[in-house]
């Protein structure tokens, strides 16, 4: 089986991390690129993204398929049906620990063009989630200083965690 005929790993990883969060009593959150392909309340979209609590306590009828994530949730006390293409999910993480995974955003137009002409994938935009130390007494290094060097790895013995960068 070649690379072009395999299914995306994203929906499998999303389901696995959602299950891991749920099994460990953690609250799974999704970061979603909000565009015309997602069905979410627009009032809750900030900077083209929306962060959603997808725990079983916060959702009703949660279905995580290979192509879409469907559920009902309340926003401001009003029920909404949420439909998310899996390719628009850019991160999943546990609210309490920040542990999770980020994904490069998928561009539907680029995906359609790639089906006709095999080419190098486009360079992904920087993810909205960065790896930082999970200790409470340290602040993450600022990425606005302009140099292109990656941040130093966290000190040995401390577990990395994901943190939302706005």
Indicate the number of domains in the chain.
Answer: 1
Q: What is the CATH number of the domain that holds 68?
A: 2.30.30.220
Greater confidence (68 vs 139) lies with: 68
Q: Is there a domain that residue 62 lies in?
A: yes
Cα–chain center distance at 133: 19
- Encode pLDDT of 110-161 as tens digits: 444 333 333 344 344 444 444 443 444 443 333 344 445 555 555 555 555 5
Q: Is there a domain that residue 22 lies in?
A: yes
Tokens of 43: 């009032």
Greater confidence (80 vs 165) lies with: 80
28 neighbors 54 (Cβ within 8 angstroms): yes
Phi, psi (rounded to 5 degrees) for 18: -65, -45
- The 10 Å Cβ neighbour count of residue 4 is 8
Q: Is there a domain that residue 65 lies in?
A: yes
Q: Is there a domain that residue 151 lies in?
A: no
For residue 148, what pLDDT is reported?
Answer: 55
What does the alpha-carbon distance between residue 148 and residue 93 come to, in Å, rounded to a whole number?
26
Q: Is there a domain that residue 150 lies in?
A: no
124 SS3 class: coil
Entry pTM: 0.64
Q: Is there a domain that residue 75 lies in?
A: yes
**C-alpha distances in Å from residue 100, one per residue of 80, 123, 164:** 26, 22, 11
What does the alpha-carbon distance between residue 54 and residue 146 come to, in Å, rounded to a whole number?
35
Helices (H) and strands (E) in the chain, counts: 2, 9
For residue 31, what pLDDT is reported?
Answer: 96
Residue 87: closest CA among 164, 161, 14:
14
Q: Is there a domain that residue 131 lies in?
A: no
Q: What is the mean pLDDT of residues 10-36?
A: 96
Phi, psi (rounded to 5 degrees) for 17: -70, -35
For residue 73, what pLDDT is reported?
Answer: 96
Q: Is there a domain that residue 159 lies in?
A: no
Residues spanned by the domain of 104: 3-123
Tokens of 39: 């069905």
What share of the chain in percent tops pLDDT 90?
58
Range with lowest mean pLDDT among 7-21, 57-71, 116-130:
116-130
Q: What is the mean pLDDT of residues 90-108?
A: 90
Residue 77 has pLDDT above 70, yes or no: yes
For residue 151, what pLDDT is reported?
Answer: 55
Range with lowest mean pLDDT among 68-77, 84-93, 95-104, 114-123:
114-123
Long-range contacts of 1-4 (CB under 8 A, 24+ apart): 4/118
């Amino acid at each position: 089986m070649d690379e072009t005929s395999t299914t995306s790993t994203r929906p499998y990883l999303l389901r696995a991390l959602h299950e891991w969060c749920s099994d460990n009593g953690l609250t799974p959150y999704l970061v979603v690129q909000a565009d015309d392909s997602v069905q979410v309340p627009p009032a809750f979209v900030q900077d083209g993204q929306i962060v959603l609590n997808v725990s079983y306590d916060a959702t009703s009828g949660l279905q995580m398929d290979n192509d879409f994530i469907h559920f009902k949730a309340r926003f401001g006390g009003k029920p909404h049906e949420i439909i998310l293409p899996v390719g628009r999910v850019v991160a999943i993480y546990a609210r309490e620990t920040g542990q999770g995974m980020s994904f490069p955003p998928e561009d539907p137009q680029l995906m359609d063009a790639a089906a006709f002409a095999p080419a190098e994938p486009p360079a992904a935009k920087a993810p909205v989630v960065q790896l930082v130390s999970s200790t409470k007494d340290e602040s993450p290094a600022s990425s606005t200083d302009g140099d292109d060097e990656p941040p130093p790895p966290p000190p040995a013995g401390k577990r990395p965690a994901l943190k939302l960068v706005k």
